[in-house]
Structure 1
Amino acid sequence: MVQSYKQKPDLQERYDSIIIGSGMGSLTTAAILAKEGQKVLVLERHYTAGGFTHVFKRKGYEWDVGIHYIGEVQRSNSILKKLFDYVSNGNLKWADMGDVYDRIIIGDTSYDLVKGVQNFKDKLVGYFPDERQAINDYVNLVFSVNKSSKNFYLNKALSPLISAIIGRFMRKPYQNYADKTTYEVLRTLTNNEELIKVLTGQYGDYGLPPKQSSFPMHASVARHYFSGGSFPIGGSSQIVETIDPVIEAAGGTILVNAEVDEIVVKNNIATGVRMKDGTVFYAKKIISGAGIMTTYKKLLPKASVVKHRLDNQLKKIEPSVAHSCLYIGLNGSPQELKLPKTNFWIYPEKGDHDSIVEKYLANTDEEFPVVYISFPSAKDPDWSNRYPGKSTIDIITLVPYEEFEPWNDSRWKKRGQEYEAKKEKIALRLLEELYKQLPHLRDKVDYYELSTPLTTQHFVNYEKGEIYGLDHSPKRFRQKFLKPRTPIKNFYLTGQDIVTAGVGAALFSGVLTTAAMTGKNILKKVMQST
């Protein structure tokens, strides 16, 4: 049954804009359009809104599915902070994670990544005293690349005519970096493989190890956290909770349990959407935040895909990695259990990231190539008000979709004993990784549940359960079609596929999409807002 995110809505047949999906890109697009006076309908196929920003509850616990930490929101003048304030009317609040946001653990050795650029450099020099020059050069390069990214992305919002005239000049500085892998660039700065392994210890934030990822993707993540990490106070459900009133204020609605069957296209003009139950909603503009692959393969009419050869575009991009997440509930408050706010990134001692991944993909019984441990209940100062005497932990690792492909045709929660046994084996291995780091938690675990790539496929509608949409390889940044405008009139894209992985990028995609739709300088408006 179609229902409103909050209450029984007064549904219209016609809207100014309809947005498919309710992830961060869609919510941002909807809120900005609402502030431009538009009545927007947001359609979410699942029973909960928010995409990777939603939470789920089980057995007296609550887990954040995709938000583990956000950078840049402690700086009041940062684009990201301004944007979050703009789309939530300043109602979304953040808690600082403290000095150490990430701990890179390689074998038995730990390296802390600390907030503040000079602190970050000093700490690394303490670990690698002979690499001072390389570390300074690295930080300077990260800033240079990020500076060049602004024009690269703003070009995506320009009209085709203006982009044809000046687009190449806007893209070129960034693409000079984007054509190189992270490893290629870092090897020009240092030969120290351990330092490279530490500097790229956050590669799980974008999914590709250093010899495969495009350097600007790495640089944007590194830069994103130089000022530290933060967590939404009240949990990531606050993102939808604070954005929904902005959409409603202009007469818009977020609908859940509202699955779109097909985008209605007539004479190459998008005019509406047909729902699974046959209902048709109409709008002047249609936007998909469902990901380019899902949009072109499942939502657009076949005739439109064939006409514009959109399937050829899809051959030029690859889906990103799939993963499993172990959601753990514990008896005891974060304080009682001495849970840190710092994230742990755990890697095998021997080998570089790429060779470790390769070894694991050949045999998933090998050591996990990366284990990420997050302590959301410790990061959220409001947690104990909601769940006294309880705590949660998330543990994420790389799991190829192919491992669970045999159960592709089964239904969520009804996939059978063999599937559950496979999940249990992975869950127990991940629990051991936790106990290695925090042995005192061994008898505190009350409940745990493992998601698989099929879980992600079920909830996010990504074909192979990928976590970050598209791969962030050098090839990806050469694809000019990854932008808001499509060859179909009045039909647009938003979300991480038109920018890069992560909540911050999806947030910024909303700026690009609304700028392309309205022809207005949305970014200027956001930056001038109070």
Structure 2
Amino acid sequence: MGKPFKSGYDVIIIGSGVGGLTAGALLSKAGLSVCILEKEPHVGGYLAGFRRKDFRFDTAIHWLNQCGPEGVAGKIFSILGKDHPVAIPQKRIRRYIGNHHDYLLTNNPEELKAAWIKEFPHEKKGIDRFFKAAKKIGAAFNEYSTVFRTEESMGFWERIKNKLPLIRFGSAFIPHLGYSGEEGITKGLNRYFKEKKLHDIFAADGDVIGCMVPIGWAYYGDFQSPPRGGGQVIPEWLSYLVRYYHNDVFTNCQVEKVLVEGNEATGVVFKQRGEEIQLKANHVIAACDVETLYNKMLPASVLSNKLRKQLEEADIYSSSLTISIALDCSPGQLGFSEELIHISSDSATIEEHSGGDPLKSEIVVLTPSLRDQSLAPEGCGTLTVFMPAYMSFKDGWYTTKDEHGNYVRNEDYRRLKNEIAEVLIDRLSKIIAPDLPSHILFYDVATPVTHWRYTGNKQGTMMGAKPGKENMKNKVARYRTPISNLLIGGQWAELGGGVPIAVKAGTNAALLVLQKENKKAFRLLADYMDAKITAEVFESSGVFHAYDNSWKPKPTPAERKKS
């Protein structure tokens, strides 16, 4: 018999991704009673990770950013607990490999700039301007933590004052907006250099801003590797905090309905191991897929047809085919290093780089065990290979659908994903590591169907809705819903994705709850988010409950075996 549910809660949170867990931890620290309901057996969403034999794999981590002391995630984690998992700064960041190039971006981008100027001296002025523009974008992101409070929590004059820092942040991006797609990116890069070999470096990028962002982040040291133990230690720590304050995190709980009385959310109905359970709450935070919320958990009349269509047609990030590989040696012995490798082809279009054909697709390679040896047994290693992918490929990856619209996997599905994995491994062995196939102990393949199954995210998208003119115009991302006391609190509340966006969303959802439930806590957290007070002032106020920093990360499977 597990821990019993309470009769009611101040806040119920649907989903235990980083957004839901951040909201839960902050609200717990503020003294509210919280219950987090997760449909899967483990917390974490895209950071849940998994174990195969004595290897630990992250599900979706390419890199982290905004996790340093001054980043969005770093600032929030620091007020939650001094024992938070610490992301590791990267030195070797990104390797660009193509038919005729192989370049390395480090935490000193001037080295890459010098290499390009040496090879293409006739493009020196344009290369200088390109790196200067990228650095400006990096500077904007470096100040991102000063503009991460949502305007939905602000009064009229606060919103007016907030416009200036938002304008400063956006000014770095405005000159590059609109330069996307095959023709747009060529036109945008031509503003800096016309040399085709330089254009080919970004053959897989969809817009000019995407070409510049990695360089901009590198200028400000904003590339981090996951903490020791992998990305999953972040949700493990956050869920520990929620329970430390005597609140609840329950898994295997599939929420089916948000209870609404009048126009106010009053709780949820969910199933746990076949049993239907109803819980009451003063507030509900949906840190889950937003279309699932509106289409399955709420009455159809809640959302207008116009808003429903805008959500359906929102421009979202791709999903991926992900190969998690266990090696009988270190990846370093095969020619890999700690940096993220992007392999593209100058003969493939942007669309082909993400179209699902493994012979033409971009390949992204990561070596987690080189960054963190605790992820693999002694003498072994891990390799993660990504290929952009969409649910529409091969009619849903040859799956069928049941009467509830769920994807049903079959032998054709399994054969397809393994055939693609073999092609990608073969390409990788020819380009970087000829001996790779002979050192593979086993591998696990995830598709967009897999990502959809474990996260519930529309089409298995990795990061929700993209920043862009149409999504902004249609206000696709928002915290408040047409139902009072029902908030969006996961990545769908914001445009963009990744850990910092999830932390931002969870923090703002918690802030909006506190605005109604605890004015002192609201004001203190708002002032901290606005950089009006320091973490020390926040902690010494006594408004939020103290924490004894008692979390200890669990040993990885490899560490347990070694001991």
Q: Pick from 282, 292, 295 the counterpart of residue 293 of structure 2.
A: 295
The residue correspondences of 1:256-275 to structure 2 (distance < 5 A) are: 256-275=251-270
Q: Residue 345 of structure 1 aligns with which residue?
A: 342
The residue correspondences of 1:475-514 to structure 2 (distance < 5 A) are: 475-499=470-494, 500-514=496-510
- Deviation of 1:188 after TM superposition, in Å, equals 3.6
The residue correspondences of 1:299-378 to structure 2 (distance < 5 A) are: 299-306=297-304, 310-315=307-312, 317-334=314-331, 339-350=336-347, 355-358=349-352, 361=355, 364-365=356-357, 367-378=359-370
Query: What amino acid is aligned across from residue 66 of structure 1 in structure 2?
Result: A
* Number of equivalent positions: 504
User: Structure 1 365/338 Cα, relative in aligned 2: closer, same or farther at 3 Å?
Assistant: closer
Query: What amino acid is aligned across from residue 81 of structure 1 in structure 2?
Result: G
- Deviation of 1:334 after TM superposition, in Å, equals 4.8
| Cα distance between partner residues in 1 of 2:143 and 2:74 | 20
Contact persistence 2:401–2:408 (CA under 8 A): no
Q: Does 1:62 align with 2:59?
A: no
- Deviation of 1:140 after TM superposition, in Å, equals 3.9
The residue correspondences of 1:133-212 to structure 2 (distance < 5 A) are: 133-143=128-138, 145-146=140-141, 153-159=148-154, 177=173, 179-181=177-179, 183=185, 186-198=189-201, 203=205, 209-210=206-207
| Cα distance between partner residues in 1 of 2:201 and 2:178 | 19
SS at match of 1:420: helix
Identical columns (%): 21
Contact persistence 2:407–2:449 (CA under 8 A): no
Q: Pick from 55, 62, 78 the counterpart of residue 85 of structure 1.
A: 78
Contact persistence 1:156–1:512 (CA under 8 A): no
The residue correspondences of 1:438-517 to structure 2 (distance < 5 A) are: 438-499=433-494, 500-517=496-513
| Cα distance between partner residues in 2 of 1:239 and 1:147 | 22
Which deviations, in whole Å up to 9, do the C-alpha atoms of 1:12-41 show, x marking residues without a partner? 121111111111111111111122122211
371-380 or 113-122, larger mean C-alpha shift: 113-122
Q: Residue 417 of structure 2 aligns with which residue?
A: 423
User: Structure 1 122/77 Cα, relative in aligned 2: closer, same or farther at 3 Å?
Assistant: farther
397-406 or 250-259, larger mean C-alpha shift: 397-406
| Cα distance between partner residues in 2 of 1:221 and 1:511 | 25
- Deviation of 1:512 after TM superposition, in Å, equals 2.1
SS at match of 1:15: strand
- Deviation of 1:259 after TM superposition, in Å, equals 0.6
SS at match of 1:37: coil
Query: What amino acid is aligned across from residue 76 of structure 2 in structure 1?
Result: L
Query: What amino acid is aligned across from residue 248 of structure 2 in structure 1?
Result: T
- Deviation of 1:454 after TM superposition, in Å, equals 0.9
Q: Residue 29 of structure 1 aligns with which residue?
A: 23
Contact persistence 1:95–1:232 (CA under 8 A): yes
| Cα distance between partner residues in 1 of 2:94 and 2:353 | 25
Q: Residue 371 of structure 2 aligns with which residue?
A: 379
Which deviations, in whole Å up to 9, do the C-alpha atoms of 1:141-196 show, x marking residues without a partner? 31465478667653443347568867777766666746534536544444345435
The residue correspondences of 1:220-231 to structure 2 (distance < 5 A) are: 222-226=215-219, 227=221, 228-231=223-226
Q: Does 1:52 align with 2:46?
A: yes
| Cα distance between partner residues in 1 of 2:201 and 2:467 | 20
Query: What amino acid is aligned across from residue 111 of structure 1 in structure 2?
Result: Y
- Deviation of 1:82 after TM superposition, in Å, equals 2.4
- Deviation of 1:84 after TM superposition, in Å, equals 3.1
User: Structure 1 218/249 Cα, relative in aligned 2: closer, same or farther at 3 Å?
Assistant: farther
SS at match of 1:107: coil
Q: Residue 559 of structure 2 aligns with which residue?
A: none
- Deviation of 1:433 after TM superposition, in Å, equals 2.4
SS at match of 1:332: coil
User: Structure 1 128/314 Cα, relative in aligned 2: closer, same or farther at 3 Å?
Assistant: same
Max radius of gyration: which structure?
Answer: 2
| Cα distance between partner residues in 1 of 2:411 and 2:399 | 11
User: Structure 1 169/76 Cα, relative in aligned 2: closer, same or farther at 3 Å?
Assistant: closer
Q: Residue 246 of structure 1 aligns with which residue?
A: 241
Q: Residue 206 of structure 1 aligns with which residue?
A: none
Contact persistence 2:101–2:201 (CA under 8 A): no
- Deviation of 1:295 after TM superposition, in Å, equals 1.9
SS at match of 1:464: helix
| Cα distance between partner residues in 2 of 1:272 and 1:83 | 27
SS at match of 1:285: strand
| Cα distance between partner residues in 2 of 1:341 and 1:481 | 36
Which deviations, in whole Å up to 9, do the C-alpha atoms of 1:442-498 show, x marking residues without a partner? 310010121111111111112322222123443123333512122211111122222
User: Structure 1 258/64 Cα, relative in aligned 2: closer, same or farther at 3 Å?
Assistant: same
User: Structure 1 248/127 Cα, relative in aligned 2: closer, same or farther at 3 Å?
Assistant: farther
Which deviations, in whole Å up to 9, do the C-alpha atoms of 1:239-267 show, x marking residues without a partner? 12211221112221211101100111111
Contact persistence 2:451–2:457 (CA under 8 A): yes
User: Structure 1 525/127 Cα, relative in aligned 2: closer, same or farther at 3 Å?
Assistant: farther
Normalization by structure 2: what TM-score?
A: 0.80
Query: What amino acid is aligned across from residue 252 of structure 1 in structure 2?
Result: N
User: Structure 1 147/329 Cα, relative in aligned 2: closer, same or farther at 3 Å?
Assistant: closer
Q: Which blocks of at least 5 consecutive residues in structure 2 are unaligned?
A: 516-521, 537-563
Contact persistence 2:14–2:36 (CA under 8 A): yes
SS at match of 2:450: helix
- Deviation of 1:300 after TM superposition, in Å, equals 2.1
Q: Residue 388 of structure 1 aligns with which residue?
A: 378
SS at match of 2:75: helix
Contact persistence 1:328–1:393 (CA under 8 A): yes
Contact persistence 1:485–1:493 (CA under 8 A): yes
Contact persistence 2:94–2:339 (CA under 8 A): yes
SS at match of 1:278: strand
| Cα distance between partner residues in 1 of 2:255 and 2:366 | 34
| Cα distance between partner residues in 2 of 1:290 and 1:315 | 16
- Deviation of 1:376 after TM superposition, in Å, equals 0.9
User: Structure 1 360/504 Cα, relative in aligned 2: closer, same or farther at 3 Å?
Assistant: closer
Q: Which blocks of at least 5 consecutive residues in structure 1 are unaligned?
A: 204-208
Contact persistence 1:61–1:390 (CA under 8 A): no
Contact persistence 1:22–1:50 (CA under 8 A): yes
| Cα distance between partner residues in 2 of 1:59 and 1:132 | 48
Q: Residue 399 of structure 1 aligns with which residue?
A: 389
Q: Does 1:38 align with 2:32?
A: yes
Q: Residue 551 of structure 2 aligns with which residue?
A: none
User: Structure 1 48/418 Cα, relative in aligned 2: closer, same or farther at 3 Å?
Assistant: same
User: Structure 1 322/140 Cα, relative in aligned 2: closer, same or farther at 3 Å?
Assistant: closer
Contact persistence 2:255–2:269 (CA under 8 A): yes
SS at match of 2:43: coil
Contact persistence 1:264–1:301 (CA under 8 A): no
| Cα distance between partner residues in 2 of 1:424 and 1:11 | 42
- Deviation of 1:46 after TM superposition, in Å, equals 0.7
User: Structure 1 319/157 Cα, relative in aligned 2: closer, same or farther at 3 Å?
Assistant: same
User: Structure 1 491/376 Cα, relative in aligned 2: closer, same or farther at 3 Å?
Assistant: same
User: Structure 1 298/72 Cα, relative in aligned 2: closer, same or farther at 3 Å?
Assistant: same
